[in-house]
């Protein structure tokens, strides 16, 4: 199972690399990485948001979607294959779904604002930015929860601890090679 | 109280530095050998490790550069902060368990020790140690310079020290840092981190409250002002654009598990099960401290646009100007102490891992054994390393910034690209090989160095670090897949199975 997982991770990394090359080769726009503020030195502005995403928006959306999948797969790689139960996989799939939902809300909320100019606020920030700031951070909290609450079930079980203690005893004994 | 603002700030910083010195003396009694000096005898509790972990993550860059970045490029830099939950998750899932097991099994005292055990290769150890030394020099020089500049700004505001030179400030601040690192090694470092981390948490919370009071309409009024001026700056990708933002998400998120000064701390906890509490506590601390980054940055950008303040001379002045204009003197004192805490907590971690690489790993990779009397030489090299870094800092400030800028490029991104695949994936995949590890490290160094040296600008704000990171990941897995598996020890095989 680990071999399949690492192959999938490799495929994800390759896809991210290809997307990055595609973005680098896309037609550049003058404000793609911001331009100097007309009045205030040391400050930059983004300018026309639609123009900045015109040639790379879909690539960038896919890039982040794959990157979040890579994060989930790397977390799965860190769990011993013996502990990867169907429940565990379902939970991790749920984590990915949540992260994707937040990313979707952020990206398309931004798109909607650019098209309509209409905006609401949540806890001090425009809603798309609130999805970015609060949402992105909270989106990975389920990973912390399964690590913390499922520590003895998925990460380091009592059987793992016994196996490690036995290994330590064997390795540190005077007769050990 | 306002009349004594400078004296209060100076008093807070002085108290903090006195605490560091006392901690160094106390820790010296507990440092009996090199394992104590570098690994604190693997005996630390969860609160100590948590605070040490997050306070080392958020260096002076977070307290000075962070607000400056928001002032300069808007929301783009938020991505370096919001990634913390995913970043810590990857670090704990991939690294925390196995690095701790191998450290105990093989009595490892450094990250190169771990990779040498994992790959059964002195070449990988050597490359890892060299990467760490190069990175440490750049990081340390910039941190020492930041510390001296802030100290000069504080002292020059008083009558007695109005004409103090930067050289004197470098000497004073480095002397305190060197003293507690030399006397108490990592024990002094992590226990000062506890106080440093606590100060940073308190400072972050209080600054958020202060920042929201700057505008009558709170944070929403500040963000509305920015939106009216340039909507992109306060939208999710900021003025630096979508690829710069997502690149930071990648490099800062995944890269956290490749930072040697952080993952080395995952080897120091007493009990493996403590990891389940260390993770949430570190994350909480980081988020609280990062509130300062976001709130000061947003408010200062809005205040400059709205004409509440004059535009800053440099974006990095955002935090200090905010503190002088809007913060109560007592709070300013706490935050300035927090700023020194942030810088010192990162610097001491770098001093420790750099020293380990020089006296333990490089000699071991070349001669097959580390130097005699490691504890003595550890103390000598700690002084020398800090002195060389301080000299680099002064050279860069007065003569030529190229050298430190170049070494500075060996910052987070280079550590991320060269160390993450080798350690984080290598500890969880038996198929990882020596050629794969060597290729990943060298490609990361070459790409980062080339982009920096040649001054290459990549379209859409894509960073050289992102290119290096994705390339090293692909090469690490690809080369490992087509080369012969290393003959690793049976005990390491068993650890990789657990």
Domains in chain B with CATH codes: 2-387 (1.10.4160.10)
Q: Does A127 contact B at CB distance below 8 Å?
A: no
Q: How many CB atoms lie within 10 A of CB B492?
A: 21
**H or E segment at B477?**
helix B464-482
- Judged against a pLDDT cut of 90, whether residue B330 lies above it is answered with no
Question: Which chain A residues have a beta carbon less than 8 Å from that of B285?
Answer: none
The arithmetic mean of pLDDT across residues B51-80, rounded, is 85
**What tens digit of pLDDT does each residue of A14-60 get?**
999 999 999 999 998 988 889 999 999 989 999 999 999 999 999 99
- Judged against a pLDDT cut of 90, whether residue B143 lies above it is answered with no
Q: Point out the residue among A23, A106, A163 whose CB comes nearest to the CB of B236.
A: A106
Chain B, residues 406-435, CB within 8 A of chain A, namely 424-425, 428-431
- Check residue A152 and give its pLDDT: 95
Distance, CA of B351 to CA of B217 (rounded, Å)? 45
CA distance A51 to chain B (A): 11
> Looking at B91-105, B150-164, B370-384, which range is the least confident one?
B150-164
Cβ–Cβ under 8 Å, residues B427 and B481: no
- Judged against a pLDDT cut of 90, whether residue B195 lies above it is answered with no
Is the Cβ pair A42, B74 closer than 8 Å?
A: no
**What tens digit of pLDDT does each residue of A105-124 get?**
999 999 999 999 999 999 99
The arithmetic mean of pLDDT across residues A76-103, rounded, is 96
Which of the four pLDDT bands, split at 50, 70 and 90, describes residue B186?
confident
- Check residue B397 and give its pLDDT: 75
> pLDDT above 90 covers what percent of chain A?
88
Q: Does B327 contact A at CB distance below 8 Å?
A: no
- Judged against a pLDDT cut of 60, whether residue B405 lies above it is answered with no
Is the Cβ pair B240, A44 closer than 8 Å?
A: yes
- Judged against a pLDDT cut of 80, whether residue B1 lies above it is answered with no
- Check residue B65 and give its pLDDT: 79
Q: What is the DSSP string of B284-297?
A: HHHHHHHHHHHHHH
Q: How many CB atoms lie within 10 A of CB B364?
A: 20
Buried (b) or exposed (e) across A126-136, using 16+ Cβ within 10 A? bbbbbbbbebb
Q: Point out the residue among B74, B88, B460 whose CB comes nearest to the CB of A23.
A: B460
The arithmetic mean of pLDDT across residues B148-167, rounded, is 81
> Looking at A148-152, A154-158, B26-30, B250-254, which range is the least confident one?
B26-30
Mean pLDDT for chain A overall: 93
**What tens digit of pLDDT does each residue of A129-163 get?**
999 999 999 999 999 999 999 999 999 999 999 99
- Judged against a pLDDT cut of 80, whether residue B448 lies above it is answered with yes
Q: How many CB atoms lie within 10 A of CB B231?
A: 21
Is the Cβ pair A47, B90 closer than 8 Å?
A: no
Q: Which one is predicted more confidently, B339 or B298?
A: B298
What 8-state DSSP symbol labels residue B486?
Answer: P
Q: Which one is predicted more confidently, B265 or B371?
A: B265
- Judged against a pLDDT cut of 70, whether residue B58 lies above it is answered with yes
Interface A-B: count of C-beta contacts within 8 A: 266
Q: Point out the residue among A26, A44, A140 whose CB comes nearest to the CB of B85.
A: A140
């Amino acid at each position: 199972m680990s071999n399949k997982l690492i192959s999938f991770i490799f495929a994800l990394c390759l896809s991210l690399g290809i997307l990055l090359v595609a973005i680098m080769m896309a037609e550049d726009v003058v404000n793609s990485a911001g331009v100097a503020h007309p009045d205030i030195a040391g400050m930059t502005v983004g300018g026309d948001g639609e123009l900045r995403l015109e040639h790379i928006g879909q690539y960038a959306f896919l890039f982040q979607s794959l990157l979040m999948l890579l994060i989930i797969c790397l977390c799965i790689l860190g769990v011993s294959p013996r502990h990867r139960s169907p429940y565990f996989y379902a939970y991790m799939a749920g984590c990915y779904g949540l992260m994707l939902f937040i990313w979707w809300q952020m990206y398309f909320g931004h798109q909607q604002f650019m098209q309509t100019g209409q905006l609401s606020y949540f806890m001090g920030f425009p809603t798309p930015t609130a999805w970015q700031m609060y949402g992105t951070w909270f989106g990975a909290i389920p990973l912390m929860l399964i690590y913390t609450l499922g520590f003895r079930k998925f990460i380091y079980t009592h059987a793992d601890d016994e196996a490690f203690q036995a290994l330590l005893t064997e390795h540190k004994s005077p007769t050990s090679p | 109280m306002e009349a004594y603002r400078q004296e209060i700030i100076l008093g807070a910083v002085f108290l903090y530095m006195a605490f560091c010195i006392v901690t160094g003396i106390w820790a010296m009694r507990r440092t009996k050998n090199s394992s104590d000096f570098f690994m604190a005898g693997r005996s630390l509790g969860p609160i100590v490790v948590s605070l040490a972990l997050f306070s080392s993550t958020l260096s002076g860059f977070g307290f000075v550069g962070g607000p400056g970045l928001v002032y300069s490029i808007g929301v783009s830099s938020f991505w370096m902060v919001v990634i913390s939950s995913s970043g810590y998750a990857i670090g704990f899932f991939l690294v925390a368990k196995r690095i701790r097991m191998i450290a105990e099994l093989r009595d490892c005292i450094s990250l190169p020790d771990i990779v040498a055990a994992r790959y059964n290769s002195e070449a990988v150890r050597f490359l890892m140690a060299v990467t760490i030394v190069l990175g440490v020099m750049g990081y340390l020089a910039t941190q020492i310079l930041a510390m001296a500049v802030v100290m000069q700004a504080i002292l020059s505001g008083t009558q007695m020290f109005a004409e103090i030179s930067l050289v004197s400030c470098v000497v004073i601040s480095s002397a305190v840092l060197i003293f507690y690192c030399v006397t108490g090694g990592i024990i002094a470092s992590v226990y000062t981190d506890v106080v440093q981390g606590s100060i940073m948490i308190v400072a972050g919370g209080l600054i958020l409250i202060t920042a929201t009071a700057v505008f009558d309409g709170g944070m929403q009024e500040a963000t509305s002002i920015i939106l009216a001026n340039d909507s992109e700056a306060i939208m999710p990708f900021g003025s630096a654009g979508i690829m710069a933002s997502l690149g930071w998400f990648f490099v800062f998120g995944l890269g956290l598990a490749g930072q040697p000064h952080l993952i080395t701390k995952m080897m120091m906890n007493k009990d493996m099960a403590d990891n389940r509490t260390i993770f949430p506590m570190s994350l909480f601390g980081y988020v609280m401290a990062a509130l300062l980054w976001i709130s000061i940055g947003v408010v200062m950008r809005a205040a400059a646009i709205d004409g509440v303040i004059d535009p800053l001379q440099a974006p990095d002045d955002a935090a200090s100007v905010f503190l002088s204009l809007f913060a109560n003197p007592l709070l300013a004192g706490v935050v300035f102490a927090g700023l020194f805490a942030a810088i010192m907590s990162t610097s001491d971690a770098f001093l420790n891992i750099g020293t380990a690489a020089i006296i333990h790993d490089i000699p071991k990779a070349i001669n097959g054994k580390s130097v005699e009397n490691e504890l003595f030489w550890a103390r000598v090299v700690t002084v020398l390393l800090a002195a060389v870094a301080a000299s680099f800092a002064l050279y860069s400030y007065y003569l030529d910034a190229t050298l430190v800028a170049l070494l500075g490029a060996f910052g987070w991104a280079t550590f991320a690209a060269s160390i993450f695949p080798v350690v984080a994936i290598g500890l969880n995949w038996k198929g990882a090989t020596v050629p794969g590890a060597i290729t990943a490290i060298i490609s990361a160094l070459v790409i980062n160095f080339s982009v920096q040296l040649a001054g290459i600008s990549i379209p859409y704000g894509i960073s050289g670090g992102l290119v290096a990171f994705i390339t090293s990941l692909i090469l690490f897995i690809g080369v490992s897949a087509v080369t012969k598996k290393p003959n690793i020890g049976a005990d390491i095989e068993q650890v990789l199975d657990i």
